[in-house]
Chains A and B, each alone.
Chain A
Amino acid sequence: MNKRYFSLIAVAGLLLTLTQCDKNPPENPFKAPYPETSLDAQAGQWKTYMDITLFLGSVPAPAATNSAEYANELDLVRAAMSGATAEERDLAIWWGSNGVLRWHEIAREMACNYNVLPDYNADGTYPNPDPSNPSSYPRLPVATPPVTARMMGLLAVAQYDALVACWEIKFQHNRLAPYKNAPDIEALIPTNDLPSYPSEDAVIAAASREILQYIFPGEVSNIAAKAEEHKQSRLWAGANVPSDLSAGDSLGRAIAKNVIENWAKKDKMNQSNNQAGLPAQRDEAVTKGFVTQWNSLEIPARPALLPAFGFVKTWNCDFATLETIRPPAPPPPGSPAFQTAMDELLKISKNRTREQQRITTYWSDGVGTPTPPGHWNRRASDLIYDNQWNEIRAARAMALTCTAMMDAGVACWEAKYYYMYPRPTEMDRNLTTGTGIPNFPAYASGHSTFSAAAAEVLSYLFPSNEPSLRAWAQEAADSRVYGGIHYRYDSEEGLKHGANIGQYAVFRGLTDGSY
């Protein structure tokens, strides 16, 4: 009797101890900082997106390394380093593995968290985010693919332009890092001979802070804290003195504010959700012969996503150019070509294989994810990291890729609302899908356009990766057909369209002076 009670208690005890186990998701992989041996002394001459001339004279000359002022700053660095906690030293290493990429990582996570569609009201309408209350649901902004593509373009351009200015000024003054001027300072991250005034990290932090605070008004204090942490991390690392950081911060801030005031606030994004203009767009499509039109499949019907995003300002080519590369008219619903495409989707839908479902989900990048632009942003980041590019090369790569994707989004949305093409499930109710149906017209596929544009630019930047980049873009395009939410020609034309748009960014890359 006692033995049995004992074994019962033992079982209960075992149960209790084991229930205390914590179940956390896997840690994000550790990314070690890498040495940045190429200094790119000429990068200050690279072509920028905005005019930065005004800002080149805005940074005061630094104190000489043999000055008392500088000696004092070195002491501040020594104090920061010796006072740094273990967590702060970890942060110094975290921020040390390419500040450009780290801010894109932060931006992707933020986009992920904000990529959520408003839930319907009791009366069947949908609420819009309230700018005066950006943190209450639905939060501002709704980070859909167009919104995320625009955010990433602005972020990458601000970082790049600011870093070009930074590089120009660095090599004017040639004041090296504290670890070069004081033999007792042992940096926590790889060292080099890059002049450290102004600090490229402070420039990146400030530029990123300005752009992200503009896009995510509900995250202003979180973003500010991250930027401070980034700058501080350079002291803990022994890589900058305080004046490097303050000069970099004011330079990055000024250039990013310029991007916001003279580009973002004038790019017509604030008119992109012009629901009142949609009836006229529909009438226009009817006069062109596109009479069978897309309608929302959501219950209750949800307003079309950003019907005027197609008129937002693009980076690498103008609207007149975009009109010339718009995909050709799709097959009219009911035509033989339409039916062939429909039959393919019905066949897949009846017997979607496990692999087709996996590919559909892998590339769906819907709500709660960083969207297709975010997916390719991560691919670009990984390639830059694997190739150990320095901050300015990283910023150039991200700017070329992200501006191409922004332009792709604009061009794609312009075509979508030009043709107003209905989704497959609107045309045949026997069709079921492997993923959610986006709330905007079908032709052409956004996934295909974004992916092909990114693959075009990344293939130029990383030629040895071209085969896999092209294969990924193809798979992303196929995924929409496997999912039953796009006709085959939506994806085929989207891939061509995206590649054309990507070429404009490639041309910029070939002619921006970076050789």
Chain B
Amino acid sequence: MRHFYTLFMFALANMAFAQSPSDGLMMPKGQLCVLGQYTNSTWDHYWEGTRKRDNLNLGNVSTHSALLMANYGITRKLNVLVGLPYIWTSSDVSYITGQKNFQDLSLFVKYQVLEVPVGNGQFKVQATGGLSRPVSNYTPDLMPFSIGLHTQTASLLAIVHYISQPGLYVTAQAGHTWKGNTTLDHFGYLFDSKFIASDIMPVPNMLDYSARLGYIKPRVQAEVWYDSFTGLSGDDIRYNEAPQASNKMRASQVGIFGKYFILKRLGILASFSQVLSGRNVGQSQTWTVGATYFFNVNE
């Protein structure tokens, strides 16, 4: 089971896209980069609390996303990013109608706090603040087929990045996301074993962190990464029941990413990742393909 929004943040974080909210790269001043990306994330095993299991009535559950994202360099130290995915879910076995809609609009502001030469490279520190909100009235109440949890979020990330002259780099990032409550379609739910007489359900705040190791040159980038997120509160999926937005979700995954500029301004990119361990999430395998185009706005 997945909180797709969080995994989307993951995908964003581990970018299949240069100059993302959580990598160590910054857009030059006056440059605009637009990304179009397709993501497919599929699981057939999931963690019901800490119990890993499958469910033959769900089979393979997939979340697909078509994302449009733009990143603009206001200055070399200040970038603004905005993105909106269209998400649809499916299962190869379940009778439940897959859901589909535009999901949440995200806005990020990334600021380079520090840049100092160290050895034959540069050591950088950045901070990103983000906000998101749903743009459609999709339901959060049909998990695991809901396209998101339908809450507003605010996030803060800190990034440290070292890039050496030959092009090797290492990045570490930690972040915190605050999430609002969500409103269910049904009234009354169990939280742990207590019956809550309300349709308002709390969604846990999240802590996430990642580490990347990569190589970047003007024309090519390759990277391996590890990331992890954890809910800071919440209950577990009950025995043989469906997930719900209040669940404490946790996942760790590893992935690889590559980008290649086929033209001076046009890059193609792809990534693959696998969730290794988790709680109240699906053991997803995710791959993305996309293209990114750079404009010099001030030309």
Would you call B197 and A28 a contact (CB within 8 A)? yes
CB-based nearest A residue for B234: A23
Q: In this assembly, does A62 line the interface, its C-beta being within 8 Å of a C-beta of chain B? A: no
Question: Interface readout for B184-212 with A: 1 if CB under 8 Å, 0 if not?
Answer: 11111111011111101111110100000
Contact B246 A434 (CB under 8 A): no
> Which A residue sits closest to B154, measured CB to CB?
A18
**Chain B contacts of A370 at CB under 8 A?**
188, 195
The reply to whether A299 and B57 form a contact with Cβ atoms under 8 Å apart is yes
The answer to whether B205 touches A11, judged by C-beta atoms less than 8 angstroms apart, is no
A117 to B204 alpha-carbon distance, docked (Å):
27
Q: Are A18 and B240 in contact (CB under 8 A)?
A: no
Q: CB-defined interface of A1-45 with B at 8 Å, one 1/0 digit per residue? A: 000100110011011001101111110110000000000000000
Q: How far apart sit A138 and B196, CA to CA, in the bound complex (Å)?
A: 23
Q: Which of B39-47, B78-86, B135-143, B284-292 contacts A (4 or more CB under 8 A)?
A: B135-143
Instruction: Establish whether residues A11 and B125, one from each chain, have CB atoms under 8 Å apart when the complex forms.
Output: no
CA distance A118 to B240 in the complex (A): 7
Judging by beta carbons under 8 Å apart, are B95 and A297 in contact?
A: yes
A109 at the interface (CB under 8 A from B): yes
A137 to B241 CA separation, bound complex (whole angstroms): 13
Asked if A282 lies at the interface with its beta carbon under 8 angstroms from chain B, I say no
Q: Give the complex CA separation of A298 and B57 in angstroms.
A: 6
Q: A119 touching B240 by the CB < 8 A rule?
A: yes
**Are B139 and A368 closer than 8 Å at their CB atoms?**
no
Which of the residues A4, A19, A119, A378 comes within 8 Å of B176, measured between beta carbons? A19
* Residue numbers in A under 8 Å from B93 (CB-CB): 299
Known: A368-B189, A432-B95. Is A26-B240 also a contact (CB below 8 A)? no
Closest to A351 in B: B97
User: How long is the Cα–Cα vector from A408 to B204 in the complex, in angstroms?
Assistant: 41
Q: Count of chain B residues with Cβ under 8 Å from any Cβ of A?
A: 50
Contact A425 B95 (CB under 8 A): yes
Least CB distance from A201 to B in Å reads 22
Contact B158 A362 (CB under 8 A): no
Closest B-chain residue to A15, C-beta based? B176
User: Across the interface, which residues of A come within 8 angstroms of B125, CB to CB?
Assistant: 4, 8
User: Is B276 positioned at the interface, with any CB of A under 8 Å from its CB?
Assistant: no
- A26's nearest neighbour on chain B, judged by CB, is B198
Taking the nearest CB of chain A, how far is it from the CB of B215, in angstroms?
27
Known: A18-B176, A19-B205, A354-B139. A362 touches B185 (CB 8 A): yes
Q: With A7-B113, A11-B158 in contact, is A435–B246 under 8 Å at CB?
A: no
A19 touches B232 (CB 8 A): yes
Report which of A15, A117, A365 forms a contact with B240, defined as CB distance below 8 A: A117
Please give the residue numbers on chain B whose beta carbons come within 8 Å of chain A beta carbons, in ascending order: 53, 56-57, 93, 95-98, 113-114, 125, 127, 137, 139, 141-142, 156, 158, 176, 178, 184-191, 193-198, 200-205, 207, 232-234, 238-242, 246
Could you list which residues of chain A lie within 8 angstroms of chain B, going by C-beta atoms? 4, 7-8, 11-12, 14-15, 18-19, 21-26, 28-29, 105, 108-109, 112-113, 116-120, 137-138, 297-300, 349, 352, 354, 357-358, 360-362, 364-365, 367-370, 378, 425, 431-437, 484
Return 5 A-B CB contacts under 8 Å, by A number.
Answer: A18-B205, A119-B240, A299-B93, A378-B197, A434-B96
Q: Nearest 7 pairs between A and B by C-beta?
A: A361-B185, A432-B97, A299-B56, A109-B195, A119-B240, A23-B202, A25-B196
